[in-house]
Amino acid sequence: GGNWFGTGNIAMITIHTWFLGWGTDGLEGNWDFAPVPSYEGVTTAKLHADTFGMMNTTAHPDEAFEVLSYLLGDRAEDLTALYNGMPARLSLQGTYIEHYIAQLTETYPDTDFASKNWPVVPAGLAYPDNPNHEEGMPSFLEASDRYTSYTQEADNNADFDVDAGLDALQADLQAIFDARAE
């Protein structure tokens, strides 16, 4: 388990920008951002898009609109810094990377974040995974817990039987998905 990239034994990982800082703290090798390699001529960037929205079935539409307006209004830039997420609102994207670099540098002063290839980050938005890697998975959190437990056991048990583990994982995931369909 742990931070495999931080061991210095892995040449490349595909990871989100939230990994920066704690995931690169103390890393002795040279590292930078690069575009994700294409597969059979198709480029895909794994993207998380966490959003705020308002259900049309809410019992409190006025209150929900007030909260949504607050999140998108004058405080939007402050909230973006709090969540460490690149804003979808184009007017806020211009300063996002600059603010994020400053925040990372304050917390992890031994890493030169400003010298990294930051233009790759917004450029990757043009290549979202479609369908998204989180889309359409029944009981996403329960299924994620199950395959995470598989990975942890495989990573931490030298005697782990991969074939048996995969068979059990498949059966367990199928049961999770079937329960969701009922």
Same domain, yes or no: 36 and 68: yes
Are 32 and 89 found together in one domain?
Answer: yes
| Among candidate residues 117, 135, 153, the one where a domain is terminated | 135
Same domain, 169 and 98: no
Domain count, the chain: 2
Contacts of 47 (CB under 8 A, 6+ apart): 124, 125, 128, 129, 132
Q: Note the pLDDT of residue 79.
A: 83
Same structural domain for residues 81 and 159?
no
111 and 95 in a single domain? The answer is yes
Same domain as 118, residue 54: yes
Q: For residues 76 and 82, is the Cβ–Cβ distance under 8 A?
A: no
Q: What is the pLDDT of residue 165?
A: 96
Looking at the fold, whether 174 and 84 belong to one and the same domain comes out as no
Per-residue confidence (pLDDT) for residue 2, from 0 to 100: 65
Looking at the structure, tell me whether residues 61 and 47 fall in a common domain.
yes
DSSP secondary structure string for all residues of 82-114: HHT---SSHHHHHHHHHHHHHHHHHH-TTS-GG
pLDDT of residue 91: 85
**In the prediction, which pLDDT does 57 show?**
95
On whether both 121 and 148 belong to a single domain, the answer is no
Check whether residue 147 and residue 172 sit in a common domain. yes
pLDDT the model gives residue 62: 96
pLDDT in the model for residue 58: 94
Q: Which residues of the chain have pLDDT under 70?
A: 1-2
Query: 180 lies in which domain range?
Result: 136-182
- 62 and 98, same domain (yes or no): yes
